[in-house]
């Protein structure tokens, strides 16, 4: 499903797109794999919030939304944009995972136990992003080669995180 959100309030656009759990293709445009009913409920909740803001303050942001179910042909036309977005996110995440992996190994080698809690928290944040990206890739049927490299590096980071969490 293609979801388009337009508003002068960028935070509102980000919040709306986060609610529909989609891959952002362009600013305000995302590809969601959620069922239509869940997307509709999420967008209605955002609309109710905007209406409430207008009623309470007498003013508020503008909001325009569209949720369009795609045919297979339409999805095939958008697939290159989705693949590019997944590749970009995966490349960025791969860099972050590699840097975290090096920091974890360094902390373990140097015996700097005070850093372990901070590194564990960073690992958990990256884990949420990795899980979301892996689910997006699977749901959209898009598996760029960088996802394979990310998956392998993630396994290494998970093993190292286990050591960090045990404090060894």
**CB half-sphere exposure, 166, CA atoms < 13 A:** 7
Q: How far apart are CA 3 and CA 21, in angstroms?
A: 10
Predicted local confidence at residue 167, as pLDDT: 59
Q: How far apart are CA 142 and CA 1, in angstroms?
A: 15
Predicted local confidence at residue 148, as pLDDT: 95
Q: How far apart are CA 166 and CA 163, in angstroms?
A: 5
Reduced to 3 states (helix: H, G, I; strand: E, B; else coil), residue 3 is strand
Per CATH, the architecture of 2-69 is what?
Answer: 2-Layer Sandwich (3.30)
Each residue's pLDDT tens digit, 138-162: 999 999 999 999 999 999 999 988 8
Each residue's pLDDT tens digit, 77-120: 999 999 999 999 999 999 999 999 999 888 888 876 677 888 88
- Sorted by where each begins, the domain ranges of the chain are 2-69, 79-166
- Quick one: how far is CA 149 from the chain centroid? 18
Tokens 């529909």: give the residue: 20
pTM: 0.86
- Quick one: how far is CA 167 from the chain centroid? 29
Tokens 């935070």: give the residue: 11
- Quick one: how far is CA 147 from the chain centroid? 14
Hey, which residues does 66 pair with through a beta bridge?
A: 4
């Amino acid at each position: 499903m293609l979801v388009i959100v337009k508003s002068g309030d960028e935070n509102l656009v980000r919040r709306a797109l986060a609610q529909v759990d989609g891959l952002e293709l362009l600013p305000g445009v995302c590809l969601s794999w959620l069922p239509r009913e869940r997307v509709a409920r999420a967008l209605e909740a955002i609309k109710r919030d905007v209406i409430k803001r207008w009623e309470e303050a007498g003013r508020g942001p503008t909001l325009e939304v569209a949720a369009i179910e795609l045919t297979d042909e339409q999805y095939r036309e958008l697939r290159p944009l989705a693949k590019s977005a997944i590749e970009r996110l995966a490349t960025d995440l791969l860099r972050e995972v590699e840097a975290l992996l090096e920091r974890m190994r360094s902390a373990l080698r140097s015996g700097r136990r005070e850093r372990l809690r901070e590194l564990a928290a960073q690992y958990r944040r990256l884990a949420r992003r990795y899980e979301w990206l892996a689910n997006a890739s699977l749901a959209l049927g898009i598996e760029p080669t960088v996802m394979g490299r990310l998956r392998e590096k993630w396994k290494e980071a998970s093993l190292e995180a286990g050591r960090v969490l045990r404090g060894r």
